[in-house]
Amino acid sequence: MSANAQHVEDLNAYLESQANKSLLKFITCGSVDDGKSTLIGRLLYDSKLIFDDQLSALEADSKRSGTQGEEIDFALLVDGLAAEREQGITIDVAYRFFTTDKRKFIVADTPGHEQYTRNMATGASAADLAVILVDARQGMLTQTRRHSYITSAFGIRKVVVAVNKMDLVGYDEDTFKRIEADYRAFAQQLDFTDIQVIPVSALAGDNIMASSDNMSWYDGPALLPYLETVDVSEDREAMPFRMGVQWVNRPNLNFRGFSGTIACGVVRPGDKVMAQPSGKSSTVESIVTYDGELEAAGPGEAVTITLADEIDISRGDVLVAQEQPAQVSDQLQAHVLWMHDHDLVPGRQYNLKCGTRQVPCVVTELKHRINVNSLETQPGKTLELNEIGVCNLSLTDKIVFEPYGDNKEMGNFILIDRQTNDTVGVGLFDFSLRRADNVVWQALTVDRFHRSAIKHQRPCVLWMTGLSGSGKSTIANMLEARLHDMHRHTYVLDGDNVRHGLNRDLGFVEADRVENIRRVGEISKLMADAGLLTIVSFISPYINERKMVRDLCESGEFVEVFIDTPLEVCEQRDPKGLYKKARDGEIKNFTGIDSDYEPPVSPDIHVRTTELTPEQNVDKIIEYLEAREFLRAPTL
Amino acid sequence: MSQAATSQSNSSSPAANAGLAAPADQSHLARLEAESIHIMREVAAECENPVMLYSIGKDSSVMLHLALKAFYPSKPPFPLLHVDTTWKFREMIEFRDNTAKELGLELLVHINQDGVDQGVGPFSHGSQVHTDIMKTQSLKQALDKYKFDAAFGGARRDEEKSRAKERVFSFRNAQHRWDPKNQRPELWNLYNTRVNTGESMRVFPLSNWTELDIWQYIYQENIKLPPLYFAKMRPVVERDGLLIMVDDERMELEPGEVPQERMVRFRTLGCYPLTAAVESDADTLEGIISEMLVSRTSERSGRVIDHDASASMEKKKQEGYF
């Protein structure tokens, strides 16, 4: 036999054996120094996945920055970032790959430090199973509870509790039994279906690859044999068909397909499907792939579907089995895990991404926070980094979803800050609040067009933002007087006036400031709807909230006017004596002193009070309004 | 073996017994393929001006093949970009041009002209300076020039420790810097693609593939590779224990060095003076994969650049290297 024929035969035999292997994705978690990285390093090392050059680099590294003296420090294999090596800790999720004769594994090594809980949730979101480490000397810690709760909340049903460092407690059976009993008692509050508790020593290799002679009292499986055989399959094929449309595929006028990854269920040509949220139906014509058309496609497959009818479908829509549609709502309750240094602020607008859809949304109410140590609920105004809470969400548009408990793929979402674009939170949908279905906007016979036409003007919201004492009220009042002389219909909303009435229940902390602006934004919107030229004079320090009001208004109706006066000048003027009080510490959270002001990046009108007189600045605003035809009757 | 073929031959599932075609249970490779396709489609749908970094190696070849699949029957809705350091193997350039032509794809080639003018090269300036100027800086120039807001790269998490911690969608600020301690959380298959003007994303659709997966997939899909991967008699010299191929006259020989014809091949491709060959007689895909299965050194060991300080890759990535 030629060398190559031998290669072909060997290779095919090998590939055959590989094809039959299943994949297990698991996370390791637990408190700091419980030995997670060491355990993974041990698994990689013992399953012969470390190459010679990596091993020699490891030996050198172990001597330089290892914590095990002359011995190999397995943790260095996985702690990849310079900061981690210096501090001897894990600070970010690391993904590792290894294979045994029976199975392929992807393991996410997640950090134990509290501030990195968000990374632990990241690892959990993609895992079938969790290995939770407990240091035999310490027993259960706060982090053990926290990670167990997150593991359970993110839908993992099977866990291994690896009681590690058994070598350091003399392989004592009683110590192990006590920790096992503690854990099982605690876990009764969680949703695990299987808990396997195994005594191990990752460093010494006890009960990792095979049962250890040091613990003959233990008659359960060793860690790896358990991981190789545990059944984590989930029957997603039996669920109703759902596929989020990612991309509309139009190579030419004759082809229009909808590309996406099937979340669950099976689809075949001839199946009746519905596009949600629109509710329009059609029949599957073909399932197109590069490798040919398919007779059927199932969960996880990335395909392109063509339909028999030309119905309007775009990215973000979901194709579902017609007879078994998903839920549609714009008012939902969800569990949210906060992932950012800046607290969640109810009332602030975030972008919600679920599936292939992005929609602006507001947390209308934080119902309660969950203490992940005691699993008790607590009231709260905001969520801080790593806190979990139950929230009501209000979306600007309807989305297609299912409760996370019923369908993971259709029930998860992330929250994105609209200004920085950071991913600030993740969530799991609980259920629709259904209020959205009951509130139907009254179609009125007199609408905004009629109201503004009779006033010979197009309504707008002139939003004046600037520091306290910058001259907002002066210019607002002068502008209103001028417009009134021109027979225009106006109204001025002033920060101080509104705070004495409508918003007197609100203070000056960030959450209250956001709610203050939200209310004023809603009122401005109603005023504009009434056909008025609405002048709003508000410090409104945050870019996000001004953006929220802009989005609330009809397109083109929101005019941001930046009253730009340097802080020193405002402080010098100090018309109400507030800066002095703030400097003296009598007033807290005063904008410009101990609370931020975020100036507009590109305001529609930039008023520099130190360069022009108030009269000249009012002229400038009037010119703007005339140029954009706000001072004329609208045309249909 | 195609998906279509497997789906038709599966007869053991309950649905098949009921007389209906059933989808195949996804194999490991099919899962990886679907995940990569999903990532590419997200970019095409959400980013304004994406590009695919094409470095001609096996990972790029797999990535390109996946792009053809992801958008079929459309062509990939983005151009290919090759950052040419001017020191690539000649066979790579030939393969690159033929591939783009055969597939009818737009190919952008960027060379750092400042570097060329200053005569920067691996022999005169050393591997670090050469790589920084002709690769890292050059890449940033190209991304700025075309204002790309997303760039696909073929890096895998199993390659190197800092890569194991990088996101699939890796955010870069306006200076193209990566901040490893401040990465966006990435959960389920929800990718946050949003960037402000000037900022960008590096996107790694092969993050979860291993080197073995890549080779298996190349074999399964019969993906064409540059001939440098296959063993052949090539002129090499041995320096510091590494076999370096004498690809053109710019290779200055040290006293006593005489190029020898040896049967060698390459496990990774890059600049020829910085990419070591391995002695091998594997001249078929089957031979390469068989050889790889018994290998005891990782593929990056052939890259001269990785032999610097242990955190070197992380540092380079922070500065904008792929």
The torsion angles phi and psi of A435, rounded to 5 degrees, stand at -60, -35
| Residue from A17, A152, A540, A602 carrying the catalytic annotation | A540
Q: Is A21's CB within 8 Å of B192's CB?
A: no
pLDDT at A143: 81
User: Does the active-site annotation cover A468?
Assistant: no
Average pLDDT over residues A478-501: 88
DSSP string of A167-193, one letter each residue = GGGTT-HHHHHHHHHHHHHHHTTS--S
Share of chain B above pLDDT 70, in %: 83
CATH class of domain segment(s) A328-438:
mainly beta
Q: Which of B44, B187, B290 sits opposite A121 (nearest CB)?
A: B187
- Which tokens is A400 given? 């297609």
Question: CATH assignment of A17-229?
Answer: 3.40.50.300
pLDDT at A7 over 50: yes
Residue B198 CB coordination number (10 Å): 13
DSSP string of B223-250, one letter each residue = ----GGGS-EEEEEEEETTEEEE--STT
| Cα B215 to the center of its chain, rounded Å | 13
**Per-residue confidence band for A64, with pLDDT thresholds at 50, 70 and 90:** low
pLDDT at A78: 60
Residue B95 CB coordination number (10 Å): 19
Return the residue in A37, A97, A105 with the most chain B beta carbons within 10 A, the one to mutate for interface testing: A97
The torsion angles phi and psi of B6, rounded to 5 degrees, stand at -70, -35
Convert the pLDDT of each residue in A502-529 to its tens digit. Answer: 888 888 788 888 888 899 999 999 999 9
DSSP letter for B133, please: I
* pTM for the predicted model, two decimal places: 0.77
pLDDT at A23: 84
pLDDT at A56: 66
Return the residue in B46, B291, B294, B310 with the most chain A beta carbons within 10 A, the one to mutate for interface testing: B310
Residue A474 CB coordination number (10 Å): 16
Fold designation for A236-321: Elongation Factor Tu (Ef-tu); domain 3 (2.40.30)
Helix ranges (DSSP H) in A173-291: 173-187, 223-229
CA angle B137, B138, B140 (to 5 degrees): 65
pLDDT at B4: 39
Q: Is A292's CB within 8 Å of B208's CB?
A: no
A329: amino acid identity, one letter: S
Convert the pLDDT of each residue in A236-250 to its tens digit. Answer: 889 999 999 999 999
**Per-residue confidence band for A27, with pLDDT thresholds at 50, 70 and 90:** very high
DSSP string of A589-604, one letter each residue = S-BTTTB-----SS-S
A contact residues 313-372, partner B, Cβ 8 Å cutoff: 315, 339, 351, 353-356
pLDDT at A619 over 70: yes
pLDDT at B308 over 50: no
A contact residues 494-523, partner B, Cβ 8 Å cutoff: none
Strand pairing report for B150-152 and B200-203: parallel
pLDDT at A438: 41
pLDDT at B310 over 50: no
- Which tokens is A64 given? 């330089």
Lowest pLDDT segment from A79-93, A219-233, A560-574: A79-93
**Chain B neighbors of A422, CB-CB under 8 A:** 184
Q: Is B23's CB within 8 Å of A250's CB?
A: no
pLDDT at A474 over 80: yes
Q: Which of B44, B69, B184 sits opposite A290 (nearest CB)?
A: B69
pLDDT at B297 over 60: no
Min Cα separation B38/chain A (Å): 7
pLDDT at B320 over 70: no
Convert the pLDDT of each residue in B245-270 to its tens digit. Answer: 999 988 888 888 899 999 999 988 99
pLDDT at A348: 84
pLDDT at A113 over 90: no
pLDDT at A173 over 80: yes
CA angle A200, A203, A208 (to 5 degrees): 40
Average pLDDT over residues A121-134: 90
pLDDT at A79 over 90: no
How buried is residue A173: exposed, middle or buried, by Cβ count under 10 Å (0-12/13-18/19+)?
middle
Fold designation for A448-627: Rossmann fold (3.40.50)
Residue B32 CB coordination number (10 Å): 24
**Per-residue confidence band for B157, with pLDDT thresholds at 50, 70 and 90:** confident
- If you measure CA to CA, which chain B residue comes closest to A409? B188
How buried is residue B232: exposed, middle or buried, by Cβ count under 10 Å (0-12/13-18/19+)?
middle
- Which tokens is B235 given? 């002129």
Average pLDDT over residues B175-199: 90
pLDDT at B286 over 50: yes
B209: amino acid identity, one letter: W
Average pLDDT over residues A288-317: 95
Min Cα separation B218/chain A (Å): 12
Domain ranges of chain A: 17-229, 236-321, 328-438, 448-627
Q: Which of B70, B161, B192 sits opposite A80 (nearest CB)?
A: B161
Min Cα separation B314/chain A (Å): 7
Min Cα separation B306/chain A (Å): 11
Strand pairing report for A242-244 and A318-321: antiparallel
pLDDT at A85 over 80: no
- Distance CA(B142)–CA(B51), nearest Å, equals 11
CA diameter of chain A:
102
